């Protein structure tokens, strides 16, 4: 399971997130995606922890908490939708 952290301060670094989530257990992986055109942070991150129970505790404790001046959203990351898409509407 991966945790999605939204409404993130643009000042937040990977190390800041690792430190925050390490309070709940071992952090396996942490990423702060960048905009491919500008190279700037996009305002969200993904955190993967070693234990699902630690992940759930972090989600429960950090949801809608002010961190680095922003009310962060913390929840389970949803899988990306498959590319392509709904057909329909084609001509016969």
How big is the CA angle at 63 (ends 23 and 54), to the nearest 5 degrees?
Answer: 40
Which is more confidently placed, 86 or 70? Answer: 70
Q: Is residue 83 part of a domain?
A: no
43 pLDDT band (50/70/90 cuts)?
very high
User: For residue 42, what are the domain limits?
Assistant: 3-76
Q: Is residue 81 part of a domain?
A: no
For tokens 């329909």, the residue is 88
Q: Is residue 21 part of a domain?
A: yes
The rounded radius of gyration (Å) of the Cα atoms in the chain is 16
Q: Per the structure, how many domains does the chain have?
A: 1
Of all residues in the chain, the percent with pLDDT exceeding 90 is 83
Query: Which are the contacts of 54, defined by CB distance < 8 A and separation ≥ 6?
Result: 24, 25, 26
Q: Is residue 87 part of a domain?
A: no
Q: Is residue 35 part of a domain?
A: yes
Strand partners, 45: 5
- In this prediction, residue 89 carries a pLDDT of 53
Q: Is residue 43 part of a domain?
A: yes
DSSP 8-state code for residue 64: T
CATH number at residue 32: 3.30.70.330
For tokens 């009310």, the residue is 71
Q: Is residue 84 part of a domain?
A: no
Residue 59 three-state SS: helix
């Amino acid at each position: 399971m991966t945790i999605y952290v939204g409404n993130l301060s643009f000042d937040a670094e990977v190390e800041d997130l690792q430190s925050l989530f390490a309070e709940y257990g071992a952090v396996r992986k942490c990423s702060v995606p960048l905009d491919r055109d500008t190279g700037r942070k996009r305002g969200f991150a993904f955190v993967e922890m070693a234990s699902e129970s630690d992940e759930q505790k972090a989600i429960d404790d950090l949801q809608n908490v002010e961190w680095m001046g922003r009310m962060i959203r913390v929840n389970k990351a949803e899988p990306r939708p498959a590319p392509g898409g709904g057909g329909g509407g084609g001509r016969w």
